[in-house]
Chain A
């Protein structure tokens, strides 16, 4: 039911969240399992007490955040979750490392480069953040089954979260995903279903399942729970700012699949400024795609504000979304902040994975190879300032996409257990005679 502006609803315990609001036309709705505006099909977003029209409330201080738990719940005052969320059964993701990447920075000629390494989450990708918020929404709405359409990482995050929470899970993936992602998505129990098609076709299938009795009382984290789910990505922005000593980076490189994460990191930065938690300093947001699935990069380069879908063909399967829902917003944000959207080939992705591993001891999945590869390309093209403080995201663990580098990451030698054999293998002639 549509609401008049600034009206609120309190039937559920969503903490500071009060309504859903259409990002396109501003129509407000009761908090519910809805994701699209009935007036214009625009995406719905969570509205809070502290960002409602006319509000001057400051919901939280730096000190309160700093005294919170070492996970995303330290930011619970800024999320659609109950106050006691930290004591509930969930995976407590977040507070992953922000690594000062001195070696990688030196190699690239950058002075202040950081890697936000989200492979440190419970199921080894940033998806644990968004799922944790969606789980609370599912509980609020009394859903018994947690579901999603997934390119792999989300499926594992959903089945693991459901296992911890004691809910059923049924998740859908394209059937040709990497073996490690298939195993990770099924090991936690629940039902994993492979769909013979692309991710975009899996999405369409899930949209239809929601309207069917088969999907009754199911919480699809990235469909009917999307407004709540997407808020979880804001915690990446909050953490980066807090870990930098409560300031915004001057530049940040973010992978783009649907574009939701990039959009929400921008939102998170703007909220921190609005709430007086950081100084209002300029930042540039750069989107990173794989060339084999680069509809947003193509639209950016062509100067368009809409995205023409593509059929994906890339090793970066976690980014293989040919029809990105938040693509138009990514274009808006890159242009508004003075950033850009760029893409790299699969060969450049593999090179970048190895570069990051070799310089920083961080083994990224292909999506991380995309961001580091794009970082390097933007530097070479003069679009990124090597002297400005920069953060690059690694959103997942290289162990999930071993095939990408398996051919090039092999033993230097396989030898008998003898010193002579080792000397021969490494070409060391010292001591011989």
Chain B
């Protein structure tokens, strides 16, 4: 789906207003990214960048991927 916003936080807020409940699946009660979710902007895990404040330039792809077990 397509979203809008200058940062990951803004994109998630906008998505949640369009599709209520989506935000709560990605963020916990305190508004942080859930412990078992990996969020990427482009190729970068946002925990290596600025977390929810990571910039989301026009056309950036955001991926939300559940954590995977070891190998």
**Residues of chain A whose beta carbon lies under 8 Å from any beta carbon of chain B:** 24, 35-36, 38-43, 148-151, 153-155, 199-200, 202-204, 206-208, 222-223, 226, 229-230, 257-261, 305-306, 308-309, 321, 323-326, 328
Question: B31 contacts the other chain (Cβ, under 8 Å)?
Answer: no
Q: Are A261 and B70 in contact (CB under 8 A)?
A: yes
Q: Are A257 and B34 in contact (CB under 8 A)?
A: no
Residue of A206, A261, A305, A308 touching B68 (CB-CB under 8 A): A206
Residues in B6-61 with C-beta less than 8 Å from chain A: 25-26, 34-38, 40, 45, 47-48
Indicate whether A325 sits within 8 Å of B25 (C-beta atoms), given known contacts A308-B47, A309-B45, A309-B47: no
28 A-B pairs within 8 Å (CB atoms) are namely A24-B36, A39-B25, A41-B34, A41-B64, A41-B67, A43-B36, A149-B68, A150-B71, A154-B70, A200-B45, A204-B38, A204-B40, A204-B65, A207-B68, A222-B69, A222-B71, A223-B69, A226-B69, A229-B69, A230-B69, A259-B70, A260-B69, A261-B70, A309-B48, A321-B70, A324-B70, A325-B68, A326-B69
Return chain A residues, CB-CB under 8 Å to B67.
Answer: 36, 41, 43, 323, 325-326
Return chain A residues, CB-CB under 8 Å to B69.
Answer: 35, 222-223, 226, 229-230, 258, 260, 325-326
Indicate whether A41 sits within 8 Å of B70 (C-beta atoms), given known contacts A207-B65, A308-B47, A309-B48: no
How far does the alpha carbon of A229 sit from the alpha carbon of B71 in the complex, in Å? 11
Q: Are A155 and B36 in contact (CB under 8 A)?
A: no
Return chain A residues, CB-CB under 8 Å to B47.
Answer: 308-309
How far does the alpha carbon of A325 sit from the alpha carbon of B35 in the complex, in Å? 9
Q: Assuming A41-B26, A257-B70, what are 4 further A-B pairs, CB within 8 angstroms?
A: A40-B34, A41-B67, A43-B36, A321-B71
The residue among B34, B63, B67 with the most chain A CB atoms within 10 A of its own CB is: B67
Q: Are A328 and B48 in contact (CB under 8 A)?
A: no
The smallest C-beta distance from A34 to any residue of chain B, in angstroms, reads 10
Q: Which 6 A-B pairs have the closest CB atoms?
A: A258-B70, A325-B67, A36-B66, A150-B71, A154-B71, A222-B69
Q: Are A151 and B48 in contact (CB under 8 A)?
A: no
Q: Are A41 and B37 in contact (CB under 8 A)?
A: yes
Closest to B70 in A: A258
Q: Are A36 and B70 in contact (CB under 8 A)?
A: no
How far does the alpha carbon of A303 sit from the alpha carbon of B4 in the complex, in Å? 36
Return chain A residues, CB-CB under 8 Å to B26.
Answer: 41
Indicate whether A155 sits within 8 Å of B71 (C-beta atoms), given known contacts A35-B66, A41-B66, A323-B45: yes
The smallest C-beta distance from B8 to any residue of chain A, in angstroms, reads 16
Q: Are B71 and A325 in contact (CB under 8 A)?
A: no
Closest to B68 in A: A203
Q: Are A260 and B35 in contact (CB under 8 A)?
A: no
How far does the alpha carbon of A226 sit from the alpha carbon of B45 in the complex, in Å? 22
Closest to A43 in B: B36
Q: Are A36 and B36 in contact (CB under 8 A)?
A: yes
Closest to A197 in B: B43
Residue of B36, B45, B71 touching A42 (CB-CB under 8 A): B36
Q: Are A325 and B70 in contact (CB under 8 A)?
A: yes
How far does the alpha carbon of A321 sit from the alpha carbon of B45 in the complex, in Å? 14
Return chain B residues, CB-CB under 8 Å to A153.
Answer: 71
How far does the alpha carbon of A326 sit from the alpha carbon of B71 in the complex, in Å? 12
The smallest C-beta distance from B21 to any residue of chain A, in angstroms, reads 9
Return chain A residues, CB-CB under 8 Å to B35.
Answer: 305-306, 328
The smallest C-beta distance from A293 to any residue of chain B, in angstroms, reads 12
How far does the alpha carbon of A223 sit from the alpha carbon of B38 in the complex, in Å? 14
How far does the alpha carbon of A39 sit from the alpha carbon of B66 in the complex, in Å? 12
Return chain B residues, CB-CB under 8 Å to A200.
Answer: 45
